[in-house]
Amino acid sequence: MSSSFIARVHALPTGVVGNVLTYIPRNHTAQLIYDAWHRGDLHLKYLRRFQIPDDVRNAEIFGSLAPSVCGSTVYGDDDAPMVIIRTHISVGERIRLRARAHIEQANCA
């Protein structure tokens, strides 16, 4: 039933879909994130490598989510209406991030 409702909503013209979706209630977790973003409280504290005891997860997290790997101190696309700001980034990670930015600038020039 719900998938047919969603399919019918997405079959509507683009301008109408946006209006219809504003009346559908959000998931509770999504609402918490949205409210935090509106208040300016949507931050993610940066964890240092030694703060994660599990070596497998440590490699997974820092291999794909570290600011120096992502190239940014925020999560979210440039055109996204909402982003998550990282706080308490270590000095070493800031240096690696800055070095990456310089390398990318040199490659573009």
Name the strands in the sheet holding 84-87, side by side, starting at the edge strand that comes first in the sequence. 43-45, 84-87, 74-75
What is the C-alpha to C-alpha distance for residues 25 and 48, in angstroms, rounded to an integer?
A: 37
The pLDDT tens digits along the chain (109 residues) read 456 777 888 888 888 887 887 777 778 888 888 888 889 888 888 877 778 787 777 888 788 888 888 888 888 777 778 888 888 888 988 899 889 888 877 777 6
From residue 6, how far is each of 26, 27, 95 by CA, in Å?
14, 15, 47
Q: Which two tokens stand for residue 46?
A: 């940066």
Q: What is the DSSP letter of 46?
A: P
Strand partners, 45: 87
CB count within 10 Å of CB 75 equals 16
pLDDT of residue 48: 78
